Amino acid sequence: MTSETSPPIDPQAWGELLALGGEDAGVMIEELVTMYLEDGEALLQAIRQHQAAGDAKALGRSAHALRSPSATLGALRLAELCQQVELACGHQPEGTAAQIPIEAVVKEGQRVISALQQRLDHP
């Protein structure tokens, strides 16, 4: 299964998150998803801007900021892609972040945001 045919939210991880929330899972998930949707698009935009500016440190920080909440909500592929960008940024001289490929992160991030918005609209 490729990343484009696999679900953007891992069903097992999502189930574990629901189980963790217990009887308040619905409220907890709604709060987490709402925060993610507020921050996710801004972080994807920051990733694009930092790459275009060649700022590897800022690009790495933005990828890191997106990675953790993505993993929490079961967007495991996105978290993995963010980690790859983060690692690549650590090995780049300043001013060369434009060479770090971010297309997969942006594309997967958009898939995740769309999937989470659907879950929020149709619980």
What pTM did the predictor assign? Answer: 0.89
Q: Which two tokens stand for residue 96?
A: 């060369």
Q: How many Å apart are CA 47 and CA 44, to the nearest integer?
A: 5
Domains and CATH numbers, the chain: 11-121 (1.20.120.160)
2-16, pLDDT tens digit by residue?
455 789 999 999 999
**Roughly what angle, to the nearest 10 degrees, separates helices 76-90 and 56-72?**
160
Say if CB 45 and CB 113 are below 8 A apart. no
Average pLDDT for residues 59-75, to the nearest whole number? 96
What φ, ψ does residue 101 adopt, rounded to 5°? Answer: -75, 125
- What is the chain's percent helix, strand, coil content, to nearest 5? 80, 0, 20
Query: What distance in Å separates the CA atoms of residue 52 and residue 38, rounded to the nearest whole number?
Result: 23
